[in-house]
Amino acid sequence: PPTSSNLPSLKVSLRGCPVIFRSAMFPATMSSAGDSTSSFTTLSVTRPADSITHVELNRPEKRNAMSRAFWSEMVDCFNEIAVDAECRVVIFSGAGKLFTSGIDLMDMASDILQPEGDDQARVSWNLRRVITKYQETFSVIEKCPKPVIVAVHGPCIGGGVDLITACDIRLCTQDAWFQVKEVDIGLAADVGTLQRLPNVIGSRSLVSELALTARKMYSDEAKSCGLVSRVFPDKEAMMAGALEMAGEIAARSPVAVQGTKINLVYSRDHGVTEGLNYMATWNMSMLQTHDLMKSAQAAIEKKGPKEVIFSKL
Ligand SMILES: CCC/C=C/C=C/C(=O)SCCNC(=O)CCNC(=O)[C@H](O)C(C)(C)COP(=O)(O)OP(=O)(O)OC[C@H]1O[C@@H](n2cnc3c(N)ncnc32)[C@H](O)[C@@H]1OP(=O)(O)O
């Protein structure tokens, strides 16, 4: 580890650090000015600041209901973000009056209510394929190595809860409420809430209560049970808070940030021994990054992370 005595040699070795600049992966979909030129119909994708991508649910007239296009566009969007070296952190929010009203009840008929197949086995097989595809819509958020901050205002219903539980950091406004609504439309939530919510809020009793009764949970309870980490008075304040937080994350080493997300997700699903083993294998490569020496040197020189330039990842 770096000490004050070996710092001079660190400085020398840093001069040879390769700095790799890659072109943006989003040239056709995002302007540097932050205007969305996204080809998606249900999502708006912009870059509000360096290294920060903003993905917005963008069907405000339908209360951001999750249409068939949404379920596949999310996968394309997050797969692009995952390999976009210009993006280090994502903010996810909803346009208009509220975050989301959940699955599009008008648009779900053909996929879910009238699945194709010549007999029961084939119908079941097709339904399984549909459900698995819908699950991927939110799993891509978790698989994306860039941290995702979700900012919820107003209602977050049904599929909205599935979505936010796959995100890394949850913020909301005072007027936000959350509803595991699926039982009310005759189904067991099947795209992530039942699997992820127990890990997010800890209390299995509360999860069962919410999922079995579909009662609304308001922002104060969401904060006290740990579903969200911060509550803001209104959307404007929340988006400013999200942007500030994203700026803090984007300023850190992307090697450290992405390794932290990946290992947090891995450790959630594995025991301590397995998690430590995975971590050791992860860091036996990642500790060789130049970012470690750059960051350590900056810390000793009492510089903040924003004063250090890290190569793109
Ligand atoms: C394998 C599948 C896995 C996924 C499962 C997911 C399940 C779920 O998500 S269950 C939850 C389903 N959602 C709902 O039950 C919510 C229904 N909507 C509402 O309760 C209200 O719209 C809401 C409280 C969200 C907002 O009320 P507000 O008064 O502000 O707006 P409205 O006048 O009701 O709606 C405005 C237009 O939006 C359309 N719309 C709203 N929600 C949906 C929706 N979920 N699906 C389709 N369309 C929706 C509404 O019809 C209005 O349209 P228009 O009449 O054309 O103006």
Q: pLDDT tens digits, residue range 251-270?
A: 999 999 999 999 999 999 99
Distance CA 17, CA 297 (A): 14
In 10 A of CB 157, how many CB atoms? 25
* Residues 269, 185: Cα–Cα separation, whole Å: 30
What does the domain layout of the chain look like in residue ranges?
A: 19-251
CA of 137 to the centre of ligand 1 (A): 19
Considering 56, 182, 259, 291, which one is annotated as catalytic? 182
Can you list the positions of beta strands (E) in 217-275? 217-218, 230-232
- In this prediction, residue 28 carries a pLDDT of 35
Query: What pLDDT does residue 110 have?
Result: 74
- Residues in the chain, pLDDT under 70: 1-37
Atom of ligand 1 nearest to the CA of 155: 25
226 is catalytic: no
How much distance in Å is there from the Cα of 260 to the middle of ligand 1?
36
Q: In ligand 1, which atom is closest to the CA atom of 158?
A: 9
pLDDT of amino acid 112: 83
Contact, 297 vs 5, CB < 8 A?
no
Residue 42 and residue 57 in contact, taking contact as beta carbons nearer than 8 Å? yes
CA-nearest residue for atom 49, ligand 1, is 62
pLDDT for the residue 54: 98
159 assigned to active site: yes
Helix axes 290-300, 7-15, angle to 10 degrees: 130
Q: Where are the beta strands (DSSP E) in 109-264?
A: 148-152, 155-157, 169-173, 177-179, 217-218, 230-232
Report the distance separating Cα 244 and Cα 225, nearest Å: 24
The pLDDT value recorded for residue 108 is: 80
Q: Using a 6 Å cutoff on CB, does residue 192 contact ligand 1?
A: no
With a 6 A CB cut-off, is 97 part of the ligand 1 pocket? yes
Q: Active site includes 201?
A: no
Q: Which of 67, 101, 105, 175 should be mutated for ligand 1, with most atoms under 8 A from CB?
A: 101
Tell me, using a 6 A CB cutoff, whether residue 67 lines ligand 1: no
What three-state secondary structure class fits 268?
helix
The closest alpha carbon to 257, from 89, 14, 50, belongs to: 89
Residues of 257-286 as b/e, b for ≥16 C-beta within 10 angstroms?
Answer: bbbbbbbeeeeeeeeeeebeeebeeeeeeb
Predicted pLDDT of residue 211? 98
How do strand 148-152 and strand 43-49 relate by DSSP bridges? unpaired
Task: With 0.80 as the threshold, say if the pTM is over it.
Answer: yes
Residue 190 known to be catalytic: yes
CA of 283 to the centre of ligand 1 (A): 45
How many angstroms separate the alpha carbon of residue 156 from the centre of ligand 1?
Answer: 11
Give the model's pLDDT for residue 37.
54
Q: Which CATH superfamily is domain 19-251 in?
A: 2-enoyl-CoA Hydratase; Chain A, domain 1 (3.90.226.10)
pLDDT value of position 34: 53
